[in-house]
Amino acid sequence: MTEQIFTNAKLILDNEIINGSLVIDNGEINDLQEGRSAVPSAFDCGGTYIAAGLIELHTDNMERHIRPRPSVQWPMDKAILAHDAELASCGITTVFDAMRIGSIPGSQNSTKTMARQFANAILNLRKKDILKISHFIHLRAEICSNNLNYELQRFGKSDRVGIVSFMDHTPGERQWRDIEKWRAFTIERNSISGLVLDDHYENLINMKAKYGSENETRVVAEATRLGAVLASHDDTTKEHVRSAARYGVRIAEFPTTLEASQNCRANNISILLGAPNFICGRSHSGNISATALAEKDLLDILSSDYVPAALLNAAVKLGDLWGNLAKGLTTVTLAPAAAVGLKDRGALRIGLHADFILFDRVGNSVVIRETWSKGGRVS
């Protein structure tokens, strides 16, 4: 590859924004220069922002492509390629695809989950070098399950598993501490009657009592075996966070209360919140809003969760809230990279991957002009 220069741009660095030029060569950032480049072949960005490529640690977006309708299962390779292209168009250059393992009895996915098949398909597409962006695996381990161990054992160190997280969807706990909200959500999502829901409720309570503690211990051991970062999910109480800290959790996904978030900060656990929550100003589960936590500076990482396009928009909006656009962008670049130990990306720095985006602000919207991954334009 030959050297490429992007000039007349606003470069969003770790702690500041400068007017300057970005130089890339052989898939890496080769130089960062203040002011305009005098090289005639330099691409004039016209004052566009350039930021590091976005890093997504938790997205359920692939599920939407796999099941575009309740009765339709789209071919897996085609679904993954569509998912990959969508993320690239949203400025995401590294993703940890969230895959649930551990079946929930009585739900629409009551049989074995498809995580192993998903992972195989992603790895095969990666070997063929036809994915636009970098993909890692995030295993979301449901502890209210009787087949969790079987599914964990199907993964090994060569599977690019970067994160393993606990999930506990027991009604009355964590995300669903408000049982009425759990009932309404479950009926709508699974299209079941009230009588069936009562049986489902009892099943979940019994599964938690029978397998919960054993599965938590197993998840910790398996994360270590896989060399993955351990994450908690929907921490609600001080006790949840204390337990997470004892296990060695490094990322708390979507804490549901101020109490839990404050205790995450006290225990040096990175706080990951949902970009859709921040954009909408509320949690769809009725828990604390990301805005309320951001106003108290209790937000380290943003995740697009189920809306990929929300990620950059939320980071920019967060920058406005904090009065520091560079700081807002670190929640989708440098902070997630650091949380999972990726030292080769996440910032505009010499020697790092040439993963970057060009974007503009148009009124209250953010418009992505281009996405580059490892020195090649992918969107």
Mean pLDDT of 126-144: 95
Place of tokens 């670049």: 333
Q: Would you say residue 84 has pLDDT above 60?
A: yes
Q: Per the structure block, which two tokens stand in for 204?
A: 């979940």
Which pLDDT belongs to residue 273?
Answer: 97
AA identity, residue 227: G
pLDDT range class, residue 190, cuts 50, 70, 90: low
Q: Which of the two residues, 41 and 204, has the higher pLDDT score?
A: 41
Q: How far is CA 142 from CA 60, 151, 229, 264, in A?
A: 15, 11, 16, 21
pLDDT range class, residue 69, cuts 50, 70, 90: confident
Which pLDDT belongs to residue 93?
Answer: 98
Q: Which of the two residues, 270 and 108, has the higher pLDDT score?
A: 270
Q: Residues near 122 by Cβ (< 8 Å), separated by ≥ 6? A: 80, 97, 131, 135, 137
Quick one: 357 exposed, middle or buried, by C-beta within 10 A (0-12, 13-18, 19+)? Answer: buried
Task: Report CA 356 to chain centroid distance, whole Å.
Answer: 17
CB atoms under 10 Å from CB of 116, counted, come to 15
Which pLDDT belongs to residue 210?
Answer: 74
CA angle 58/61/66 to nearest 5° reads 135
Q: Are 61 and 22 in contact (CB under 8 A)?
A: no
Q: Are 67 and 318 in contact (CB under 8 A)?
A: no
Among the listed residues 296, 368, 298, 302, the one whose alpha carbon sits nearest the alpha carbon of residue 335:
302
Which pLDDT belongs to residue 179?
Answer: 64
**Residue 20: what are its φ and ψ, rounded to 5°?**
-170, -155
CB atoms under 10 Å from CB of 3, counted, come to 13
pLDDT range class, residue 108, cuts 50, 70, 90: very low
Q: How far is CA 6 from CA 9, 24, 33, in A?
A: 7, 8, 10
pLDDT range class, residue 104, cuts 50, 70, 90: low
Report the range out of 196-200, 215-219, 333-337 with the highest average pLDDT: 333-337
Domain 54-342 sits in CATH at 3.20.20.140
Q: Would you say residue 97 has pLDDT above 50?
A: yes
Mean pLDDT of 263-273: 97
Q: Would you say residue 111 has pLDDT above 60?
A: no
Least confident of 100-104, 124-128, 315-319, 345-349: 100-104
pLDDT range class, residue 187, cuts 50, 70, 90: low
Residue 305 to residue 314: CA distance in whole angstroms: 12
Which pLDDT belongs to residue 249?
Answer: 97
Least confident of 75-89, 94-108, 115-129: 94-108
CB atoms under 10 Å from CB of 245, counted, come to 18
Q: Are 164 and 223 in contact (CB under 8 A)?
A: yes
Return the percent helix, strand and coil in the chain, to nearest 5. Answer: 40, 25, 35
Angle between helices 179-190 and 194-226 (to 10 degrees): 90
Which ranges constitute the DSSP H helices of the chain?
A: 61-66, 76-89, 115-127, 148-153, 179-190, 194-226, 238-247, 258-266, 275-280, 290-295, 310-322, 325-330, 334-339
- The secondary structure element, H or E, covering residue 22 is strand 17-25
Which pLDDT belongs to residue 302?
Answer: 98
Q: Which of the two residues, 315 and 281, has the higher pLDDT score?
A: 315
Q: Are 138 and 162 in contact (CB under 8 A)?
A: yes
Which pLDDT belongs to residue 287?
Answer: 78
Least confident of 29-38, 92-101, 274-283, 319-328: 274-283
Mean pLDDT of 268-273: 98
Q: Are 345 and 372 in contact (CB under 8 A)?
A: no
Which pLDDT belongs to residue 346?
Answer: 98
Mean pLDDT of 205-219: 79
Q: Per the structure block, which two tokens stand in for 254?
A: 């979507």
pLDDT range class, residue 109, cuts 50, 70, 90: very low
**Residue 267: what are its φ and ψ, rounded to 5°?**
-105, 15
